A = this chain, B = another copy of it.
Amino acid sequence: MNRLILENIVRQALLEDLQQGDITSEAIFDQNFPAKAVFLAKANGVLAGSPVVDEIFRQLDKEITCLAALADGAELKPGTEIAIWQGPIKSLLAGERTALNFLQRLSGIATQTAELVKLTREFGLKIVDTRKTTPGLRMLEKYAVRMGGGFNHRYNLADAVLIKDNHIAACGSITAAVEKARRYIPHTMTIEVETENQAQVLEALAIRADIIMLDNMSVNEMTEMVQLIRRRAIVEASGNIDERTIKEIAATGVDIISVGSLTHSVKALDISLEIKKV
């Protein structure tokens, strides 16, 4: 994770929520007395987002300090104390909602990832994310996937070649597209091809694609394709995968399962903040 990008994200979030200032705190507190803020889990899950909370309080007030904190990746149960921060009450309250918004979302992603990882542990494959992330938060959401035991797919459109149905149609064939790509791209980069049937898999294999994605295939088809490919390319399963279907997909022998819902349909993990006097 790059802290400079985190700084920008947090700054933007605080400006959005605080604008010209927290009118409630300004109005009702004569003194900016010290207090403690305790982050508490209220559900089972996996923690992600601690560096974001650090950065939030760092930007708000140099006098806020962290008294205790679990590391990201920690397992949470209802009642688990995630972190304790101390500082001027106005500054703690100013950051409360922003901190919770990040922490709940990122822990939600880590939790959902961890569940899928657990369901497929025996198969020795990787659960990976997609580019279906929340605009502006990709770095953090992909980090949360890692905290949940998942892995990352390519980060952006500049990262690796992924030839999809639209590209194939427009280029004429998988072969044509892969050959053109290979002549153009850096020698450090790989080429993935999205396939929908056996003919496409064979074509991708023949032109030596580094990665072959099996898109929206049935479990039976995937099993066949894995056997056909015989480790000559990395095999990625993709398409509307969830906790009910993932186990039988994993059993097909694919190397990678990519899951868009990890980041596009996040259920926030329930976390609360309690302010205590000191």
Q: Given that A158-B19, A167-B28 are contacting pairs, would A133 and B101 also be in contact in the complex, using a CB cutoff of 8 Å? A: yes
Bound-state CA distance A174–B245 (Å) is 39
A24 contacts the other chain (Cβ, under 8 Å)? yes
What 15 new A-B contacts, CB under 8 Å, besides A21-B158, A24-B167, A28-B181? A2-B15, A5-B19, A12-B136, A21-B157, A23-B160, A23-B184, A94-B157, A101-B264, A134-B134, A136-B137, A155-B186, A159-B159, A169-B275, A188-B210, A190-B190
Known contacts A97-B131, A264-B104; A16/B136 CB under 8 A: yes
Cα distance, A105 to B264, chains bound together (Å): 7
Is A232's CB within 8 Å of the partner chain B? no
**Cross-chain contact A268 with B132 (CB below 8 angstroms):** yes
Q: A267: which of B21, B100, B160, B265 is its contact (CB, 8 Å)?
A: B265
Q: Pull 8 A–B residue pairs with CB atoms less than 8 Å apart, ordered by A.
A: A4-B11, A4-B14, A5-B20, A17-B156, A24-B162, A24-B167, A105-B264, A154-B186
Chain B CB within 8 A of A39 CB: no
Give the residue of B20, B156, B161, B169 whose beta carbon is less than 8 angstroms from that of A27: B161
Q: Are A21 and B2 in contact (CB under 8 A)?
A: yes
Interface mask (A1-41 → B, CB under 8 Å = 1, otherwise 0): 11111000111111111111111111111100101000000
- Is A70 part of the binding interface, using a Cβ–Cβ cutoff of 8 Å? no
Would you call A211 an interface residue if the criterion is a C-beta within 8 Å of the partner chain's C-beta atoms? yes
Confirm or deny: A256 has a beta carbon within 8 angstroms of a beta carbon on chain B. yes
Minimum CB–CB distance from A43 to chain B (whole Å) comes to 12
Interface size on A, residues (CB 8 A): 100
- Copy tally for this chain in the complex stands at 6
The verdict on A185 contacting chain B, using a C-beta distance below 8 Å, is yes
How does the 8 Å CB contact mask read for A174-188 relative to B, with 1 for contact and 0 for none? 001100110111111
How far, in Å, is A103 (CB) from chain B's closest CB? 11
Q: Which residues of B contact A60 (CB under 8 A)?
A: 3
Does the CB pair A187–B89 fall under 8 Å?
no
* A199 at the binding interface (Cβ < 8 Å): no
Cα distance A155–B162 when bound, in Å? 18
How far is B136's CA from A9's CA once the two chains are assembled, in angstroms? 8
Residues on B with beta carbons closer than 8 Å to the beta carbon of A12: 135-136
A171 within 8 A of B: yes
Closest to A163 in B: B24
- Which residues A223-275 have CB closer than 8 A to chain B? 234, 236, 255-256, 261, 264-268, 274-275
Residues of B within 8 A of A208 (CB): none
Q: A25 CA to B183 CA in the complex, in Å?
A: 13
- Chain B residues with CB under 8 Å of A181's CB are 24, 27-28
B4–A59 CB distance below 8 A? yes
